[in-house]
Amino acid sequence: MRLTTTKKELFDAIPRGFSVGFVPTMGALHSGHASLMKQARQENELLVASIFVNPLQFEALGDCDDYRHYPRDLDADIPLLEECGVDIVFAPSVAEMYPNDLPLVWVRTGAMGEKLEGASRPGHFDGVATVVSKLFNLVRPDRAYFGQKDAQQVAVIRRLVADLDIPVEIRAVPIIRGADGLAESSRNQRLSPTERTQALVLPRVLEKLKARAITIDAARAELATAPGVKLDHLEAVDPATLEPLAELTTPALVVAAIYVGPVRLIDNIEITT
């Protein structure tokens, strides 16, 4: 495995003429990331992964505690990258990615990026779309892999490559959950044992919705009154457009975000029957 930290090193490291799979991450790798990389390894001749905590997608362009406290430990990530068969790792600095300070030209995600997560985190998806576009230009992959846990991100990136004619296939990989049902996330590291137990109400409520055991309103009420939990949002939306659904029809995507202590957690569930 080759570690690169500059754009030139990355360009020189990627041989052309091979199918390239790409997994962009922000590090603090876990089994969810591993599932992306293992699928990419099976479907491509060359596997590239990136590790970059992108300030553009955080509040105040990174001048916030969420960005400052986001877990970063490249040395701890290396063994998982090697285990998953990654050929090239791109781990640039902020200055390498944005050498002229903040970019003047951004990719705007419009209405798709302003709802749900975007309503709670204004500008977040513009930051995601901008850095992903840069990474696609640098890596030039045939396929790129994203976790279904970030369902809105997947939908936005699918629309990004369609609207901008970027020649990459977007592959969504199913959510990986812990034995207790909590969706794997780098932010889980910041939960205390008590907070992790409190957070389990989120996957439980989503499973009830999938089974049609409760209504959307009842699901919101259960999350809003759960001990230690603050509800941000829970909505049923069209999986492709993210437009809200008046009722829980199929197909539907139910997306939710909660706060448990200082940690913001997201999850979702697809309803197909």
Q: In whole angstroms, what is the distance from residue 156 CA to residue 208 CA?
A: 27
Eight-state DSSP code of residue 273: -
Looking at 30, 33, 124, 233, which residue is catalytic? Answer: 33
- Helices 201-210 and 216-224 meet at what angle, rounded to 10? 170
CA atoms of 252 and 217, how far apart (whole Å): 16
239 preceded by cis ω (within 30°)? no
Reading the block at residue 38, the tokens are 């293992």
Bridge partners of residue 268, in order along the sequence: 255
Q: Coil, strand, or helix at residue 219? A: helix
Residue 28 · residue 68 · CB < 8 Å? no
Question: Which residue in 52, 45, 2, 28 sits closest to 187, CA to CA?
Answer: 28
Does the annotation count 124 as an active-site position?
Answer: no
Strand runs labelled E in the chain: 2-4, 20-25, 46-51, 88-90, 143-147, 169-173, 229-237, 252-260, 263-271
Active-site positions read 33
